[in-house]
Structure 1
Amino acid sequence: MLNFLYSEHCTREVKLIASVVTCAVIYYCSSIEKLSTALTLLCLMLGASLHILRILSLKIPADQPYAQGFKYLLLMLPPLGLVWIISNLPLTHWLYSAVQALGFMIIGLLLPLIYQNRAKRFE
């Protein structure tokens, strides 16, 4: 999935549509059960950190010893962080809170991706 998001085939419009759909799902779930502000910010930071780790792993040459460590970190950080967040959710309407947490993590990843490829206004 990440390879598609970072490829040339995924345009800004596709990323924007995915963001809007994700926001609509989050809005629907928040009408039933609201996610706390702290968990929302944590999910957004987790998504943004996934983007930062991906960018750093692309900049490190493959022959460096740290390249393999970044790959493992990129594979393990988001699922472990999301599992930790979901395990700390309240049990009432657990599924709606979990969908919001996943949605905010996706938004935290998509916003830097959309901004990264924007056209420069001033040169």
Structure 2
Amino acid sequence: MLEFWYSDQCSRQIKLMICIATCVMIYLCSTVQQLSPMFTGMSITIGIGIHGLRALSLKIAADNPYKKGFAILILVMPLMAFITLISALLTQHKIILALQVIGFAAIGLFILSMFANRRFDKNEQR
């Protein structure tokens, strides 16, 4: 999924639609029960961390012996962070809160990945 998000096939319009759909999903879930600000911040941090790990993995040469281990780390670290965060949620409406955790992590990833790929024109008119 990340490969599609970072590929040229995923246009700006697709990314915008995915971001809007994610925000709508978070809003609908928050009408049932809101996620606390602490969990929201940690979720966004997980999303930012996923982007950071991917950026680091791209800097490792393909013939490096640590490349495969780092690919496993990119999979395991966010998964463990999600499991830990979701297990600490309240038991009432846990699925709704877990969806919000995943949504906010996605928003953190979306914002950072779109900003990192942004091209600024020096001669841009304002």
Structure 2: distance between partners of 1:65 and 1:40: 36
Describe how 1:64-83 pairs up with structure 2 within 5 A.
Answer: 64-83=64-83
Structure 1 stretches of 5 or more lacking a match? Answer: none
Describe how 1:1-123 pairs up with structure 2 within 5 A.
Answer: 1-122=1-122
Structure 1: distance between partners of 2:56 and 2:44: 19
- Could you tell me the TM-score, scaled by structure 1's length? 0.93
What are the superposed Cα offsets for residues 25-73 of structure 1, whole Å, 9 maximum, x if unpaired? 1011111101111111111010111001101101110222332221111
Contact kept, 8 Å, 1:26 with 1:100, in 2: the verdict is yes
Structure 1: distance between partners of 2:62 and 2:117: 24
Residue 93 of structure 1 aligns with an amino acid whose one-letter code is: H
Structure 2 stretches of 5 or more lacking a match? Answer: none
Residue 43 of structure 1 aligns with an amino acid whose one-letter code is: S
Q: CA deviation at 1:112?
A: 1.2
- Could you tell me the TM-score, scaled by structure 2's length? 0.91
Structure 2: distance between partners of 1:60 and 1:12: 27
Structure 1: distance between partners of 2:75 and 2:4: 16
Structure 1: distance between partners of 2:3 and 2:98: 24
- What count of residue pairs does the alignment treat as equivalent? 123
Q: CA deviation at 1:122?
A: 2.0
* Higher alpha-carbon deviation: 38-47 or 64-73: 64-73
Q: CA deviation at 1:6?
A: 1.1
C-alpha RMSD over aligned residues: 1.2
Secondary structure of the equivalent of 1:72? helix
